[in-house]
Amino acid sequence: MHDNLDGVPASCNNASSTSAHHEGGSIHSSCYGAHSVRGPIIQTDTLKNGGFPETTQAETPGKRVQLADQLGSLALHPRKEILVTASDDRLWKMWSIPSGEIIMTGEGHSDWLSGCCFHPNGTKLATCSGDSTVRIWDFAKSECILTLEGHTHAVWGCSWHTCGDFLASCSLDNNSKIWDLNSERCRYTMRGHVDSVNSIEFLPYSNIVLTSSADKTLSLWDARMGVCAQTFYGHLHSCNYATFNMKGDTIASCDSYGTLKLWDVRKVSAMLSVDAGPHPGNQVAFDPSGETKPTTDLPIMVDWVVGASIVCEDSPFKG
């Protein structure tokens, strides 16, 4: 386990206003013949492979996918055919793919869930909520092991550092935070945006953090010092989401009017803008292959977008 980001001490001046504590939060198993247990512990005979029920030899079918509530986020397990969804019913649920059967359910947040993401090794889950907290769930222990407090309004998203010892979060309070999970404290509060910070993401294998904001900008931050390194201007409306490509040299972003932009990180400038409105764009993703063809010819502009996809839908939370 790493003690810090690239040797930076774990203390931070603003840590006194933030805290982490261990408290209630339970995971319920509900498939494959396992007994559903209400409480912080699941019967150990239902757990295999680091806390996961086996998903390949199901004898008793679980519940099929029924998404009656507004989904705030979803995340794919880094190694298993498993999907987690976070919803406004205050629960997160783990599903088997492609069967659509529920593996387990976690409860503990006191308000709607807006985001979730797997730990890089897949043994833990981070969830964020309208209750202004971030929770860390341990599948092997079948419980919430840590609650991170410090944001003053709803937390929109979170992202793990590749080493798994640090977590970044962003909030409606206009701030982002870097959390040290070893010391269970906030390392830095990153201030600079003048409106809600709607998404946050670590560039893999680096200390660079990307944020998008309702102030119509994107920012790059140095997580070792908690300072803004660069700001991207160009969106005319609230930025709802931004992400890196695999190489880290291109950023894709989308806004509340459905505009998708591709940015050159080195030149700090927009390479392409696509109007996919009129509905809001709430998320954008690069194809894992990262194959795009740089061109300014409108007839073959689709070659640019082949590397990224945009999700446009109405949202009660953003835009």
Q: How far apart are CA 255 and CA 196, in angstroms?
A: 13
- Domain boundaries along the sequence of the chain: 24-233
DSSP-based three-state secondary structure for 105: strand
Model-level pTM?
0.76
The pLDDT of residue 228 is above 70? yes
pLDDT tens digits for range 255-300: 999 999 999 999 999 999 999 888 999 889 988 776 644 333 333 3
Amino acid 290: pLDDT = 61
pLDDT tens digits for range 67-126: 446 888 899 999 999 999 999 999 999 999 999 999 999 999 999 999 999 999 999 999
Task: Give every CB contact of residue 52 below 8 A, 6+ residues apart in sequence.
Answer: 80, 82, 103, 139
Q: What is the DSSP code (8-state) at residue 319?
A: -
pLDDT tens digits for range 31-64: 322 222 223 322 222 333 344 444 333 333 333 4
CATH number (1.10.230.10, 3.40.50.460, 3.40.50.300, 2.130.10.10) of 24-233 reads 2.130.10.10
Where residue 26 falls among pLDDT bands split at 50, 70, 90? Answer: low
Answer yes or no: are the C-beta atoms of 213 and 195 closer than 8 Å: yes
pLDDT tens digits for range 189-213: 999 999 999 999 999 999 999 999 9
pLDDT tens digits for range 120-151: 999 999 999 999 999 999 999 999 999 999 99
